[in-house]
Amino acid sequence: MSVLVGKKFPSLEVSAMNEMGDTIKVNVFEEAKNNGKKVLLFWYPKDFTFVCPTELHAFQAALGEFEKRNTLVIGASCDTPEVHFAWLNTPKDQGGIEGVTYTILADTNRNLSSILEILDVQDVIYDEDLDAEIVVGDSVTYRATYLLDEDGVVFHEGVNHMPVGRNVNEFLRLIDAFTHVQKNGEVCPANWEEGKTAMSADRKGTAEYLSKH
């Protein structure tokens, strides 16, 4: 997998489903650039599964906190817009995501997820009898997460194994830390949270911080 941190996110238009049930086109890079906002893009394996709805509801519950931080939240999977729409209209107590209001990408052709190299494709083998290449794996995405700054440059990326759900609060902390760096030019030490002491990026700064902690 190629590392995107410090690089511009791929500028590619992808189909999506919005909260009104409309299929639209979204370019995540342009969403950051054109709106002057940070973007959190999170990928999940499949609609109508088990861990996935807990994550989508968790991001929805924290949506106000992301908005306070000038950050757009966008979900994504390889399901179709129609499947997204059906899931959005399924009640929470039935495993659905009714009440989710942020945009969800439908990367059905897998163009963006292929560029990001986050698909569960374990191998591609040639079957002589069929005279065709066969994909080994589900070809759905891992739980990949990208944070983009206001210029569409990635400042965080991470990939979870499918059974392991994410901690939404950690992404809020990462946004706070990066914003502090942007505004103050300081660096944020281990376990830094908003309101805590940061430090200058030099030996003296490190020494002073360690002597107090």
Contact 104, 76 (CB under 8 A): yes
d(CA 79, CA 66): 25
Contact 154, 7 (CB under 8 A): yes
Catalytic residue (one of 40, 52, 72, 175): 52
Instruction: Output b/e per residue, 119-152; b: 16+ Cβ within 10 A.
Output: bbbeeeeeeeeeeeeeeeeeebbbbbbbbbbeeb
For residue 185, give Cα distances in angstroms to 90, 102, 120, 149, 153.
46, 32, 38, 15, 18
| Token digits of residue 120 | 């569960």
Taken as a whole, the chain contains a residue count of 213
| Beta-ladder partners of 71 | 38
In the chain, which ranges are E strands? Answer: 13-17, 23-27, 38-43, 71-77, 104-106, 123-127, 132-136, 143-148, 154-160
Q: Can 78 be counted among the known catalytic residues?
A: no
Catalytic residue annotation: 52
